[in-house]
């Protein structure tokens, strides 16, 4: 079955894989060049099957910059997806919100990003067979797919926010001063993933859609000091809507 859409699942968002029918599951360990994710809550499984009738490949588990210091970890899976015949990559992540009106449990469609990782997954020799040396990232988050996301959300009565995602390398959460700076720069949400995959996907000519599950107000904005446990707990809440949204997106694709 040729996947039409690849879906990357973020921390605590594994429930989407359970909605697959006719599914096959392959551990990354059996796939040449796939990463070996090391974080609790990240599986490391490629699941293929039908989601709302749409052939998809679900990547459960991703490699982050904080694991190795480089952004190359998802290169093989994203290029595999393109080679397999897919046209779109749908990314999900857990993120902190810089907007007090968009709190834990909410979803945010990503409209653009700011790369504060300090690294880029295309650094090094370019593979011209995959894509150009200097790819444009204008409209990297496909406007048509974003419109479909909003339409799906409206139909499901989900209050889908939209905004700019800023990626930091982590693994520390941000300082309150950094969050104030990032807000000035135009960021609406902050996280430690997604941007490398978006760059790899656009380079390879895949269309991109991305949704953040807001798990917390960014550091300094809320009462509680941030922790990974809090991320996973609140991701579960947001995941309920995210599963519905992704399923509807797949049905209407």
User: Is 99 a binder of ligand HPA (CB under 6 A)?
Assistant: no
64 is in an annotated binding site: yes
State which residue, 24 or 175, has the beta carbon closest to ligand HPA. 175
Residue 187 as a binder of ligand HPA (CB under 6 A): the answer is no
Residues belonging to the active site? 11, 42, 64, 66-67, 94, 192-193, 216, 228
Neighbours of 56 (CB within 10 A): 27
Closest of 98, 18, 14, 96 to residue 62, by C-alpha: 14
| 226 touches ligand HPA by CB under 6 A | yes
- By beta-carbon proximity to ligand HPA, the closer residue of 13 and 140 is 13
Nearest-angstrom CA–CA distance, 234 and 41: 13
Q: Where are the alpha helices (DSSP H) in the chain?
A: 65-68, 75-83, 143-156, 176-185, 195-203, 228-252
Residue 96 contacts ligand HPA per CB under 6 A: yes
CA 4-33-242 angle, 5° bins: 40
- 190 lies in the binding site for ligand HPA (CB under 6 A): yes
Residue 75: count other Cβ atoms within 10 Å of its Cβ: 23
> Interface residues for ligand HPA in 230-249 (CB under 6 A)?
231
Rounded Cα gap, residues 40 and 184, in angstroms? 32
List the one residue from 51, 206, 215, 238 that touches ligand HPA (CB under 6 A): 215
Contacting residues toward ligand HPA, per CB under 6 A? 94-96, 173-174, 190-192, 215-216, 218, 226, 231
């Amino acid at each position: 079955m040729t996947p039409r859409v690849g879906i990357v699942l973020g921390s605590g968002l594994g429930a989407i894989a359970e909605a697959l029918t006719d599914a096959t599951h392959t551990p990354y360990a059996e796939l040449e060049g796939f990463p070996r994710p090391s974080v609790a809550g990240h599986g490391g499984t490629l699941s293929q099957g039908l989601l709302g009738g749409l052939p998809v490949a679900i990547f459960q588990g991703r490699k982050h910059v904080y694991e190795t210091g480089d952004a190359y970890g998802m290169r093989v899976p994203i290029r595999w997806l393109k080679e397999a015949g897919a046209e779109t990559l749908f990314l999900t992540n857990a993120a902190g919100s810089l907007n007090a009106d968009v709190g834990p449990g909410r979803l945010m469609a990503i409209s653009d990003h700011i790369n504060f990782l300090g690294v880029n997954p295309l650094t090094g020799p370019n593979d011209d067979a995959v894509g150009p040396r200097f790819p444009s990232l204008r409209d990297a988050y496909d406007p048509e797919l974003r419109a479909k996301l909003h339409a799906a959300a409206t139909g499901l009565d989900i209050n889908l926010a939209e905004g700019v995602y800023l990626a930091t390398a982590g693994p520390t959460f941000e300082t309150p001063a950094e969050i104030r700076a990032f807000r000035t720069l135009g960021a609406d949400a902050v996280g430690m993933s997604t941007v490398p995959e978006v760059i790899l996907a656009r380079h390879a000519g895949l269309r991109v859609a991305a949704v953040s599950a807001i798990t917390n107000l960014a550091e300094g904005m809320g009462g509680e000091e941030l922790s990974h446990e809090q991320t996973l707990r609140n991701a579960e809440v947001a995941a309920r809507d995210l599963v519905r949204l992704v399923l509807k997106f797949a049905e209407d694709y």
